[in-house]
Amino acid sequence: MPPKKKTVKNAYYFFMEKYRDDRNRKNPNNPISIKDAASLCSPLWQAMSPEEKKVYEDIAKKEKLRIKGMEVKFTTTGLIVSDVERKEREHQEYVRSMKEEIRNMVVELNLTDLLERKFYFIHVNHFCHCDNGDYIPAEVGVACFSLKCGVDDFYHSMVAPGNLPIGYTYKAQKHSTETHGIPIPPSEIGENDFVKLFMDIYGFVKKGSVGEGKPIVFTLNEFEPCVSIFLEKISNAAGYEAKQFKVYDFVTLFFELRNKAASFSGSEGFPVYCLAETEIETDSFAYTKEICCYWHEGSEAPQYCSLSRARRWGFHIADHCSRDLDVTLIPGRHLPSTDKYWNDTPVETYYMPRHSRKKAANKAVPSGDASSVASSSSFQPLRQPKSMGVAVSQVLSKEDGPPSLDSDAFPPIGRRIGANFNRAS
Ligand SMILES: [Zn+2]
């Protein structure tokens, strides 16, 4: 007689076992069998979330491997090594196809489409990053950018996420103090209606997006988890199971746009991705005050504002691509409109190679004075735009000083879509 084949228990079976054991422990005088548990567990199992079921699915998976006689290796945190490796492979494949999609998106554009195509940049500030991977959102900023018009529209809102998870008050306060400075919950600042946040952001991004699929938003790699989780939360709130946005790498877009622009003028683009990355890391427009939200405008840390981050990524692209495409720069949209930025531009400094400009910039900044370093950071000669020649001749045709912003084209942030939060007094 052949040996009896071992039955492989499934996730539901392990749930029933646990239910039976828990119940029998509480009622030792009236124990139930696994058969009794089966009828009681069915509705409970149906009502469980995918995360709750996953606990039992993992147990079943481990058991299946054990029966198969395979040696299962675990990481130090108790995860199955083969699972971790598979996820890593899937992630690499995802990154590869995302980069290819961005490349195709840019490479196919003719000059007119390249200038007019709208791209959306997003940043989300958080109060804390929880041990389970969750992020508690604090602020969201989205910038709409095209090479022709710069950042000509944006969305911003503070977010009121409800109470912080228990035990995270200190962490949230510390993170806030060290970065964005937004008062931690429960404060009255921000939008607490996540359905409204979804409708506003989806509507804003979808408006200028091409195609029928999910709209694409770009952010830096380091912010992707927080952005993705936030977008998933608001999508869920609006009744969708998965997030209704594609979150793509901003640096890849920057890299591709720079090279595409260079292909029109025959100039040198970015030979490698990491150069684009380094350029973004310099974050040279960080101290541009005029591009942050109403709340951060009066704060000591405007550089952490989500809106400022999203808008200045547009400045980086304009800085590197406008000259090749002969774009007329618009102050405040392609580059900071700050008076000093558009004046005091030593032409010889501008035409210096970048490393020499950096030395010149370092000399120009007096050392030991923190406030002057901060206030001069956005005006370093190093950072004069590559298209300054075009800008000066076409935009500053008047001799009477810097261009002023038209108040209709640039209404105060407080009047913009979504910026209906209350400012802290
Ligand atoms: Zn802000």
Cα gap 161→295, rounded to integer Å: 17
How many angstroms separate the CA atoms of 223 and 228, rounded?
A: 9
Pair 167, 36 in one domain: no
* Residue predicted with more confidence, 333 or 352: 333
pLDDT of 339-351, one tens digit each?
Answer: 455 544 433 333 3
CA of 156 to the centre of ligand 1 (A): 8
115 CB-side CA count, 13 A: 13
Percentage of the chain lying above the pLDDT 90 cut: 46
Q: Are residues 235 and 174 in the same domain?
A: yes
Shared domain check, 37 and 162: no
Environment class of 138 (CB within 10 Å of its CB; exposed 0-12, middle 13-18, buried 19+) = buried
248 within some domain: yes
Residue 425 has pLDDT above 70, yes or no: no
Q: How far is the CA of 159 from the centre of ligand 1 (A)?
A: 11
Residue 116 pLDDT: 94
The whole domain housing 216 covers: 109-345+384-415
Contact 157, 419 (CB under 8 A): yes
- Cα 293 to middle of ligand 1, angstroms: 4
Whether residue 330 sits in one domain with residue 244: yes
Q: Are residues 307 and 402 both part of a single domain?
A: yes
pLDDT at residue number 219: 97
Asked whether residue 140 is domain-assigned, the answer is yes
Same domain, 176 and 259: yes
pLDDT score for 370: 34
Q: Which residue has the higher pLDDT, 339 or 106?
A: 106
- Rounded to the nearest whole angstrom, what is the distance from the C-alpha of residue 124 to the centroid of ligand 1? 10
Q: Which segment of 60-74, 216-230, 408-422 scores lowest on mean pLDDT?
A: 408-422
In terms of domains, do 130 and 37 share one?
no
Question: What band does 220 get if pLDDT is binned at 50, 70 and 90?
Answer: very high
Q: Where are the beta strands (DSSP E) in 313-424?
A: none
Confidence at 40, pLDDT banded by 50, 70, 90: confident
Domain boundary among 52, 67, 82: 67
In this structure, are 130 and 50 located in the same domain?
A: no
Q: How remote is the CA of residue 288 from the centroid of ligand 1, in Å?
A: 12
Write down the pTM of the prediction.
Answer: 0.66
Cα–ligand 1 centroid distance for 116 (angstroms): 27
Residue ranges in 194-293 assigned as alpha helix (H): 194-208, 224-237, 250-265, 273-282
What residues pair up with 159 in beta bridges, in sequence order?
191
Q: Is residue 359 domain-resident?
A: no
In a domain? residue 26: yes
Structure tokens at 82: 């083969």
Question: pLDDT band at 357, cuts 50/70/90?
Answer: very low
Distance 139 CA to ligand 1 centre (A): 7
In CATH, what number is assigned to the domain containing residue 312? Answer: 3.30.420.10
Residue 366 lies in a domain: no
Residue 153 shares a structural domain with residue 23: no
How far, in Å, from the CA of 305 to the mean position of ligand 1?
Answer: 4
pLDDT at 7: 67
Number of domains in the chain: 2
In this structure, is residue 78 part of a structural domain?
Answer: no
Residues 204, 58 share a domain? no
Domain co-membership, 63 together with 115: no
142 with 230, same domain?
yes
Overall average pLDDT of the 297-309 stretch: 91
**Between 385 and 325, whose confidence is greater?**
325
